[in-house]
Structure 1
């Protein structure tokens, strides 16, 4: 937080932005996580070759870290960003933590033990509502189907849409009941590893645009998602997306 609004910025090879705060946070995680579980760490700010090698050779246990999710927000002074850490084994997250240092909201879950926000079990609210009244988290930019992206703009079945630039918090807002439904065309491993577990442990359902099981899908480093917290909404949302892909 001392670097918020006081940070130098550079560009990575893929055009995304990088700050000294991202690098420093990742280094701090690398130093500290092994005292919890002694296994390697895969961080967003590593090279693709390093990330792939770590994933392939450490299926028994691997930390997956996004040191700052929402770097663009962080750089531009928008107080909506988070740190995300997951412990992953056999391709599936077993523990996950997402922390928003601005609001001091700590979301966390362990597989089979529920999900929590600052000690309060998630979801915070359950509201039965029609899809036409739902608040949707939608990242239209990343939808792979031009047809789906277009129809999300023009024929969306939901009440309103949000795109706030921080995938890890999108998951947590869905788990808390702040969002009702969600769709994303391709999140990176560090964007979903902790958040998807927190959401699942809050009782949410998951699918992918490709139709495979979420955790066993082939697209580990770019995984799509269709999600809704309430079962009835999930079925309606999934049906609409499948019909408009």
Structure 2
């Protein structure tokens, strides 16, 4: 593709460079679609599940770039599906489509490179704000190339917790989890982009994120970001999977146990998370 660098080394460094290049080039396409979204309109995949022309165009752009430079890698996208293999790219071409379709600049592209069942590279990009979150396992997390860390919040009465809503979970379970968060003293909010919500935990804008069911393309990059930024996350690949998704939790360390208790979602121990990071 002419807008991407012509060659990338066939290793994690090469894939990390491609990931950053392609998510930015896809961002140009997505931002153009956002500016025209009022005229183009949208359709519905299901109840409260929006689809725009830009979703398909963004995914096709990313899929083509990966196929051109790493044809041996598999691809799994929200719109077009794909295959799961030892090396696979997991992509949400536009997360936050309800916001996107209604002219709200809170949406993003999410790309994760997974090798042998473990996320190794993650990127989340909001082109409307020109904010690119990026991480590699064991190398920390950045926002526009500057290192980020989770918040130092120590108590629930100072905490802002974001919750995602899913039709795959009964409303009563969602409401009960929210009630428990509120009873602990947290401010609970919802921004309608799970990937960005996880990124905001990584850079301390939020203190925790919970979604009782989330697709892998929405959460894998964000979970790696939070872990690399010093946070606590759920063991997603043990309690969920790439094809069907699962529950998601990410938190700053001091309140992680309480968030886990309220949601019923297990968390990685700090010791195990550190061991995995060093592996």
Whether contact under 8 Å (1:91, 1:216) holds in the other structure is no
CA spacing shift, 1:99–1:240, aligned 2, 3 Å: same
Whether contact under 8 Å (1:64, 1:190) holds in the other structure is yes
Matched, 1:174 2:201: yes
CA spacing shift, 1:13–1:35, aligned 2, 3 Å: same
Looking at secondary structure, tell me which structure has more helix per residue.
2
Structure-1 separation of matches of 2:115 and 2:97: 27
Runs of 4+ displaced beyond 6 Å: none
What count of residue pairs does the alignment treat as equivalent?
228
Structure-1 separation of matches of 2:126 and 2:115: 25
CA spacing shift, 1:148–1:84, aligned 2, 3 Å: closer
TM-score of the pair, normalised by structure 1: 0.84
Out of 252, 255, 258, the position equivalent to 1:233 is 255
Whether contact under 8 Å (2:113, 2:120) holds in the other structure is yes
Q: What are the Cα deviations for residues 37-80 of structure 1, in whole angstroms up to 9, with x where unaligned?
A: 4312111002xxx54xx12xx1x101111110011111000110
Q: Mind listing any 5+ residue stretches in structure 1 that lack a counterpart?
A: 208-212
Matched, 1:3 2:33: yes
Aligned to 1:86: 112
Aligned to 1:210: none
Structure-2 separation of matches of 1:203 and 1:96: 15
Matched, 1:215 2:237: yes
- Matched position secondary structure for 1:11: strand
Structure-1 separation of matches of 2:60 and 2:218: 18
Q: Which sits farther off after the overlay, 157-166 or 138-147? A: 138-147
CA spacing shift, 1:10–1:141, aligned 2, 3 Å: closer
Whether contact under 8 Å (1:88, 1:95) holds in the other structure is yes
Structure-2 separation of matches of 1:168 and 1:91: 20
Q: What are the Cα deviations for residues 111-156 of structure 1, in whole angstroms up to 9, with x where unaligned?
A: 1111100011111x63233112200011255555835623524753
Bigger RCO of structures 1 and 2 (CA < 8 A, at least 6 apart): 1
Q: Which sits farther off after the overlay, 109-118 or 139-148? A: 139-148
Q: What is the 5 A alignment of 1:20-35? A: 20-35=53-68
Aligned to 1:158: 185
